[in-house]
Structure 1
């Protein structure tokens, strides 16, 4: 599926309300990828093996992303010293749109860019935001489509569970 079609399907799912569903438990290997970070370096998912990773797909035009990002940053700051990280993958075709968003909603975790939605397609992202919790062994364990207030409580519970394992 090309990037434009992917974005149209994604937008339609948001408009029609199909984007927000409860977390789903999964157990499948997290597909490895390498993306350019906000700092200009390439980051590879495989290099985070041994940590619990919250992989979050977001876009500048996504209202729920604006609500969720500061809460994710709080979780990152609280658990980063225990072996937890957030990798936030922006899907905007224009990086400047992401930069404007981040100027108004600053975060301290790594931001990655997927302007052609290759990694988003690899992870079958169906809604913005989409969040995948990955355990220390590189297995995707939980997936959240969309965001509603209160999801951060689920995130924290899952982070704690995966850190204990």
Structure 2
């Protein structure tokens, strides 16, 4: 029991916090492409940890996909990290085949542990310089405008990048 507590404490101590640089290698996406944060430098990155059985996660995913589509991959890269088994992930991959965001499988929650995830959904927003901007636990529709505002702020730069245009700030309805 004591060794479990020590292991959990060491994971919590090593998890990136606001201002830290998170682990670079995230895994392979649905197209078997390696995703490394260092290769996404210069973009805002949103990583969310999720599962298909998680109702708030199912509500969050279409919102993040809409954000990905509006912002475009040249400015924002959204990554959904699924923590379920192979069968559930394969099913969700087929269901979300039209999504433009990256989907990563983390069945043993190794990546989730590195990020200090202890509940889902768990979102990590990363600045263009590769450091953690914020960490959000849970999901509610009231968060959507705040997330959009934060993405807009993170996308702005000294080069005058246009913010994300969001005409309808309400959350899309879950179609599952």
TM-score, scaled to structure 1: 0.78
Contact 2:30 2:93 in 1 (8 A): no
Q: Which has the higher strand share?
A: 1
Contact 1:59 1:91 in 2 (8 A): yes
Q: How many residues align?
A: 143
Name the Cα RMSD after superposition: 2.1
Greater relative CO, 1 or 2 (CA 8 Å, sep 6+): 1
Structure 1, unmatched stretches of 5+, are 7-24
Q: Which has the higher helix share?
A: 1
Cα separation, 2, equivalents of 1:67 and 1:107: 14
Contact 2:49 2:82 in 1 (8 A): yes
* Aligned counterpart, 2:142: 150
Query: Whose radius of gyration is greater, 1 or 2?
Result: 2
Shift, 1:103, TM fit: 3.9
Query: Residue deviations 1:114-156, cap 9 Å, x none?
Result: 1121111010012111001100110101111011112121111
Query: Residue deviations 1:63-83, cap 9 Å, x none?
Result: 111111111111011112551
Structure 2, unmatched stretches of 5+, are 9-16, 158-176
Query: Residue deviations 1:3-51, cap 9 Å, x none?
Result: xxx9xxxxxxxxxxxxxxxxxx922212212402111222222211111
Contact 2:80 2:102 in 1 (8 A): yes
* Aligned counterpart, 1:164: 156
Cα separation, 1, equivalents of 2:31 and 2:93: 13
